[in-house]
Amino acid sequence: MTTTTPNTWPELPLREWEDTYKTLHMWTQIVGKIRLKLTPLLNHWWNVTLYVTPRGLTTSTMSYKGRHFQIDFDFISHLLIIQTSDGSIKTIALHPRSVADFYQETMATMRSLGMPITIWTTPSEVPDRTPFENDEKHAAYDPKYVHRFWRILVETSRVFTDFRSRFIGKVSPVHFFWGGFDLAVTRFSGRPAPAP
């Protein structure tokens, strides 16, 4: 009996998922800005990044007034999952909806969990600076392409982790910067950097 393995590097042509990509970029910024608000600043802004998981992306553990929680994008079940250290779990469906709608539901869910967080709602590192609460333009979500995107992220994370492990100097975690919507790992030579 012959078994086939799925292509671990699926095709992801920009023209076919660009609208979904732009919407998802803003959704990750909303979650990323919650992380930015609640975590102490680390060098190189490493505190704001998201991390690849076996199902999507996570903030990892954050704290709010003595409670601990994390927010996960699940790109298999297509849910945003907010879970707390006291056992509370809330989910938000990921489906075609505007950035404004996603923002409002995410903030309302945080309030329902007793964590009324306010964030700076202007997107970062993008030309369109429409605040999240006013963004009705970006409203696409194609689960097929989001799943492909995640599969590429998880495989790239595996390669980056191997690459990272071979360096004995200062090296960043493998992490996802939601501003630029990119996965990164950085190795440092120890030489002084040029002045900005």
- Residue ranges per domain, the chain? 14-184
The type of residue at 30 is I
The type of residue at 192 is P
pLDDT of residue 195: 83
Instruction: Give me the pLDDT at residue 76, please.
Output: 98
DSSP-assigned letters across all residues of 82-142: EEETTS-EEEEE-SS--HHHHHHHHHHHHHHTT-------S-SSSS----GGG--S-----
- Backbone phi, then psi, for 104, in 5-degree steps? -60, -45
Cα–Cα distance for residue pair 172/10, rounded to 1 Å? 27
Q: What is the pTM of this model?
A: 0.92
Identify which of 61, 80, 52 has the alpha carbon closest to the alpha carbon of residue 184: 52
- Do strands 175-177 and 89-93 pair parallel, antiparallel, or not at all (unpaired)? unpaired
Sign of torsion, CA 119 24 57 125?
negative
User: CA 14, 157, 5 angle in degrees (round to 5)?
Assistant: 75
Per residue of the chain (196 residues), give pLDDT as tens.
Answer: 444 456 689 999 999 999 999 999 999 999 999 999 999 988 887 799 999 999 999 999 999 999 999 999 999 999 999 999 999 999 999 999 999 999 999 999 999 999 999 999 999 999 999 999 999 999 999 999 999 999 999 999 999 999 888 888 888 899 999 999 999 998 888 788 788 7
Rounded CA separation 28/179 (Å):
8
Distance CA 83, CA 106 (A): 13
> Is the dihedral angle over the CA atoms 37, 152, 144, 142 positive or is it negative?
positive
Which residue in 114, 109, 120 sits closest to 36, CA to CA? 120
- Written as six digits, the tokens of 128 are 């369109």
